């Protein structure tokens, strides 16, 4: 009788543990260190990412007429080309920040990473919206060399609003709605514009913030 009671107790404990780890529509990848990594079908990650510092808007000269020469007195424009922000996780759940793009500082940037990201970033302002932005990531401080953002680590995310031409040292317009870039002068992110950035983990918004650009754009503007 005592053995049967013990078996029932153990079975109940196992069911309780498994039940506590199971969420509808969710799954985890467990790393070698035993930490849980948010998978792309995890639906309860809305509070995992937090903004570490202010948002930096880096501006550049955009070659609107596509002649590989910048003439700001003509049709070419000064606009925000990159949005940069630092993120961290507030819990022990690890977030996979595998990026769609990388940077090699040669010719054109960013480049396709060839990897499979599980996060997508949306940017929008009055004249433009993209659910398929191009973004890169660089881990700061202590890191273990992978794309998993763990508690105690920080990751600098760069959202590219325009592609960079390293040969002619300028930014270009996009070439279609599917590339994630602004395609016309009217769509460029410029002074006094309000914009919204949403970082989406597995279909749910994990981080969202809104900022307003200053009356005049500098080379690099810190937006608190």
pLDDT in tens, 18-76: 333 333 333 444 444 445 454 443 334 445 899 998 999 999 999 999 999 999 999 99
Residue 123: strand pairing partners: 130, 197
For the segment 135-162, the average pLDDT, to the nearest whole number, is 91
Strand pairing of 134-140 and 77-89? unpaired
Four-CA torsion 209, 60, 213, 177, nearest 10 degrees? -50
pLDDT at 201 (0 to 100): 85
For residue 117, pLDDT beyond 80: yes
pLDDT in tens, 190-204: 999 999 999 998 778
Single pTM value for the model: 0.80
Task: Residue 102: name the closest of 127, 72, 128, 138 by CA.
Answer: 138
For the segment 2-7, the average pLDDT, to the nearest whole number, is 46
pLDDT at 27 (0 to 100): 40
Every domain of the chain and the residues it spans: 44-219
pLDDT in tens, 81-97: 999 999 999 888 889 99
**pLDDT classification of 13: cutoffs 50, 70, 90:** very low
pLDDT in tens, 151-199: 889 999 999 999 999 999 999 999 998 999 999 999 999 999 999 999 9
**pLDDT classification of 6: cutoffs 50, 70, 90:** very low
Q: Give the list of residues 6+ apart from residue 117 with CB closer than 8 angstroms, or none.
A: 96, 98, 99, 100
Q: What angle (nearest 5°) sits at the alpha carbon of residue 144, between those of residues 148 and 82? A: 60
């Amino acid at each position: 009788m005592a053995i049967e009671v013990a078996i029932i107790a153990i079975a109940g404990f196992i069911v309780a543990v498994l039940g506590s780890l199971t969420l509808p529509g969710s799954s985890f990848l467990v790393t070698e260190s035993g930490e849980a990594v948010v998978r792309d079908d995890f639906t309860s990650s809305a509070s995992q990412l937090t903004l570490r510092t202010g948002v930096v808007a880096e501006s550049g000269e955009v070659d609107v007429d596509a002649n590989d020469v910048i003439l700001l007195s003509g049709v070419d424009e000064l606009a925000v080309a990159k949005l940069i922000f630092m993120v961290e996780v507030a819990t022990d759940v690890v977030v996979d920040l595998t990026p769609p793009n990388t940077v090699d500082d040669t010719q054109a940037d960013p480049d396709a990473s060839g990897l499979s990201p599980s996060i997508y970033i949306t940017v929008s302002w009055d004249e433009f919206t993209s659910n398929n932005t191009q973004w890169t990531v660089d881990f700061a401080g202590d890191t273990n060399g992978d794309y998993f953002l763990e508690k105690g680590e920080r990751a600098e995310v760069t959202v590219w609003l325009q592609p960079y031409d390293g040969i002619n040292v300028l930014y270009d317009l996009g070439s279609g709605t599917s590339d994630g870039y602004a395609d016309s002068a009217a769509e460029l992110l410029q002074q006094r514009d309000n914009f919204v950035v949403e970082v989406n983990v597995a279909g749910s918004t994990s981080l969202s913030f809104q900022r307003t650009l200053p009356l005049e754009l500098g080379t690099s503007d810190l937006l608190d």
